[in-house]
Structure 1
Amino acid sequence: MYPTTLTQLSRANPFNAPLFSLQEIEEPKQSLPANGQSRNLAAAAIAEGDSCEFGSRKYLLLCGFGGIISCGTTHAALVPLDLVKCRMQVDPDKYKSIGKGFSLTLKEDGARGLAKGWAPTFIGYSMQGLCKFGFYEMFKIFYSDMLGEENTYLWRTSLYLAASASAEFFADIALAPMEACKVRIQTCPGYANNLRQCAPKMFAEEGVWAFYKGVVPLWMRQIPYTMMKFACFERTVELLYKHVVPKPRADCTKAEQLIVTFTAGYIAGVFCAIVSHPADSVVSVLNKESGSTAVQVLKKLGPKGVWKGLVARIIMIGTLTALQWFIYDSVKVYFRLPRPPPPEMPESLKKKLGLTE
């Protein structure tokens, strides 16, 4: 059977190309092991030491819980830096640098002023983390089953990109209301001091649209960010174990695996910050100014304005992404979730390519 439409689309992905190309691809045959259980990725047998099956409902729920813990806590912890970054984006003449931003905020609002917006940040990014990580694991399994074992290996970067983009689409819908409140609190002095004051006031002035007018710019910012976050992380982990770590992942201790996770997460975070920063600037200004559109804000900022605060965002996102992956992986370790081995070329594909005797 020749490649499906989905396979052809994934081959057109500009971010990745396989090491080999096949003229004809056969659907992998489903074989049953001796115990009669299916080898389907979404329903593998529970391995010794694991708490659940890979791809089971419990597995996906715990992945979602790991997303809540990793995203909610890390974003809340970095609220002071996020506040300064947002103010640099919406008022660059006043907040000309990170240091200037911190000093002015402390002078005008005191130490408590650096924590403005912590509640919507924690709630919003907890909801986003639930959808981001939980749905990513779900879509990764779903798309892998559609592609089959051989194409999953050949097009794994495309798989990571598609699964993360699908997950982030829903995650941003969950995040948008709290993100709008957070930016309004942080960038509009005197508007509201906390979430209890901000949300009712925004609803009274602009209705439900006030909470979702930034969802499209959020998609523009977060979907490329998340695609980079997951695809870059997955491939960096693969390369680290292949070329840097002197032993296979299975032989590494949990602590050693978490160190690899943190390193790969920081590398991915730097790239995430760069690709998503222009849209992040638009979101910050858009949620500050009622009645503005994304196109109007983009014209107002100009080519240089959208890059204001990039250094602060690289520091914030690099640290945040590394911590998120570290916490998420720690949750997996704590709950003894199954950890699939690094991608390996299937034996059937090796035979087709003449790599086996």
Structure 2
Amino acid sequence: MAPLQIGQYSVWPPVVLAPMAGITNGSFRKLCREFGAGLYVCEMVTTRALVERDPKTMDMVRFGPEEKPRSLQLYGVDPVVVGRAVSMVVDDNLADHIDLNFGCPVPKVTRRGGGSALPYKRKLFESIVSTAVRIASTANIPVTIKMRIGIDPEHITYLNAGRIAADSGVAAVALHGRTAIQHYSGSADWSAISRLKEAVTTVPVLGNGDIFAAGDALAMMEQTGCDGVVVGRGCQGRPWLFAELAAAFDGRTLPTPPDLRAVAGILQRHAQLLGEEMGADRGMRDMRKHFAWYLKGFAVGGEIRAALGTVSSMPELQDLLSRMDLDQPYPQAAEGPRGRQGTAQRRVHLPEGWLDDPEEDVVVAKDAELDISGG
């Protein structure tokens, strides 16, 4: 099996950490990288917020000295603004790789024609991708895209989008095997990844969706022929998944899953990194959402779980951990899906008339990029 090639960057194992809003900040990327190599993408930022140098956005575009290549995901709906953002990345040396988000299913994104809604408008999609590639190429920065199968079963976009992106010069295309209407419900359709791999032959194709264990990644590559995998929810509260992935792709025996004592040490390391990045108070508040993922399947008790939801300091965290039975082995109940799941939407929120003509020359709404959201 060959390494994943993203432009001039050789990635082994062929594993990419998916950008996740509020999750893949510098601390989490560093923690995951300590377990295994791969390509680690920062949280998604909007192109308009970037070019306006919004303080929150600029704070998100930070990379540690060990992050090579520095991978940044951009969300945009206007080719002009996307071009200005990519120029800023080039001029200010902000990143070494750019990924474009065409997969976000969140209503406040799709109702403005962004994320997974955008590839339906083929001319707009091509203009955004080709503009980004043209400008990024002046600094030898590879551009990739991440997308979904389509809006819903009646509006499938991924094959056309994959071909357009490859013809526009992207370095790779990644497909989440769900439509926007599914959100994260049901099962990912890996057969769509196979069809994309058959249709797009000039650049690597990456698969995304329902990779919760190292075996899932190997199975996806074997079943679809894809060139690499993108891991999102599967690593939430489980950064050691990257050690398991590295072992699996190297053909080594997988490491023994951590017992609760080891998990407690890892989550304390996570909290420490967040404190260093954000400050002790904000870092611990940010850490609260991770506890349920880390402790999934362990016998912890409702009282301690509730207390973790309001923990405010490292000594308080350490005290709560000390009250647990830390000798518990890793539970079978911790395996399988984690993170967002939910149910499918009744409909995808779209701009009025969005589905009337896929070839329409779209005029983008002025407020299309005002919100900063996740993908």
TM-score (norm 2): 0.23
TM-score (norm 1): 0.24
Structure with bigger helix share is: 1
**Bigger radius of gyration among the two:** 1
Structure with bigger strand share is: 2
